[in-house]
Amino acid sequence: MPTTMTGLVKAERKPGAVLRELPIPDIGPDEVRIRVKASSICGTDMHIYRWDDWAEQNVVTPNVFGHEFAGIVDEIGSAVRGIAPGDRVSAEGHIVCGACKQCRSGNAHVCPHTRSFGISAPGCFADYAVTKAVNVIPNDPSLPHELACLQDPLGNAVHTVLSGDIVGRSVAVVGCGPIGLMAIQVAKAVGAGRIVAVDLHDYRLGMAAQLGADACVKPGPGVDTAKELRRLTDGAGIEVGLEMSGSGAAITSLLEAMAPAGRVSLLGIPPKAVPIDLGRHVIFKGLEVHGITGRRMYRTWHQLKGLLDSKRIDLQPLVDHTFTLDRFEEAFERMGSGQCAKIVFKH
């Protein structure tokens, strides 16, 4: 077996990344090493690649980044049971303590001691990745690696959509990147009412319509997004707002468009602080506002597996560009252009 591997490293605390030859990582008794077969770029990876305020505050360097992947188990630690070399797997990206109040009360996804795969712990943009055995998620052998690696972001979409009542309610999906597009499919699958997609890019709005959005709104000069969302709901306002963009302007417009007693679930990561008129937009409307991070461990994984098994959602249309890892600059440029859905690295 070789002793080195190729990895994409966030080497310095500034924009960009470098491809490096690295030692193949060893594993501890409770860990698993996985030969990565496919990985995908997430919006979080764009924050890291571009190096914004959020990245400066949260990302450890130098570090292999990337956290969405699928592969084959290469080696298991001496204490690992129920996992064997050759198994096809993905992994949950939150590495939690298992002992705090949050972990012991069903809220491990917000464990205050979390280390995050590809953010504060080594990630998957490499030939091999190591994770805790408890984080390993088995994959159906019939699920191709390039689709299996999308389960992590699909989990974000499922968690966001299902964080409150949605059946029969009007929905705005703001930010139709890959997770937003997944959220449209999930909302449709679980019985949402009218779904409106909001995005700056015609390409993504076209995909949103293809995947189940009933109407599309493109913000821009002369377009009052909040007013348009109200018009599309006969003046009533949006009942469920799913915010995937992280744009301060988009968040403000969505809050303005929300119906009283509505629910807003915020997944997008703003690059800087966002001023909000809490009195007018939240308190006097009686809004529920949910902060969404990752997936509920491990409830969301079971939910998304059920949706995939039932064929209620289809990930294949989302994989519209594939690259090898050595073409990472081209891949990140494409991701930043908005002229894509999901970009997958084939390893």
pLDDT for 185: 98
Place of tokens 């490499």: 126
Query: Which residues participate in catalysis according to the annotation?
Result: 44, 47
**One domain for residues 8 and 142:** yes
Query: What distance in Å separates the CA atoms of residue 227 and residue 200, rounded to the nearest whole number?
Result: 16
Q: How many CB atoms lie under 10 A from the CB of residue 20?
A: 15
**One domain for residues 214 and 180:** yes
**Which residue numbers in the chain have pLDDT < 50?**
none
pLDDT for 272: 87
pLDDT for 1: 73
* pTM of the predicted model as reported, rounded to 2 decimal places: 0.94
Query: What distance in Å separates the CA atoms of residue 8 and residue 323, rounded to the nearest whole number?
Result: 13
Structure tokens given for 219: 């913000």
Give the CATH number for residue 10: 3.90.180.10
Query: Judging by beta carbons within 10 Å of its beta carbon (0-12, 13-18, 19+), is residue 97 exposed, middle or buried?
Result: middle
**One domain for residues 176 and 231:** yes
pLDDT for 99: 97
pLDDT for 2: 85
3-state secondary structure of 328: helix
Provide the strand spans (E) within 51-191: 63-64, 68-76, 88-91, 94-95, 115-116, 128-132, 136-138, 171-174
**One domain for residues 266 and 190:** yes
**One domain for residues 121 and 220:** no
**One domain for residues 54 and 134:** yes
Asked, for residue 198, whether it belongs to a domain, the answer is yes
Residue numbers of the domain that contains 134 = 4-150+315-346
Number of domains the chain is built from: 2
Sheet with strand 63-64: strands edge to edge: 18-23, 4-10, 63-64
Q: What is the pLDDT of residues 333-344, one digit of tens each?
A: 999 998 899 999
Distant-in-sequence, close-in-space partners of 206: CB < 8 Å, separation ≥ 6: none
DSSP at 279? I
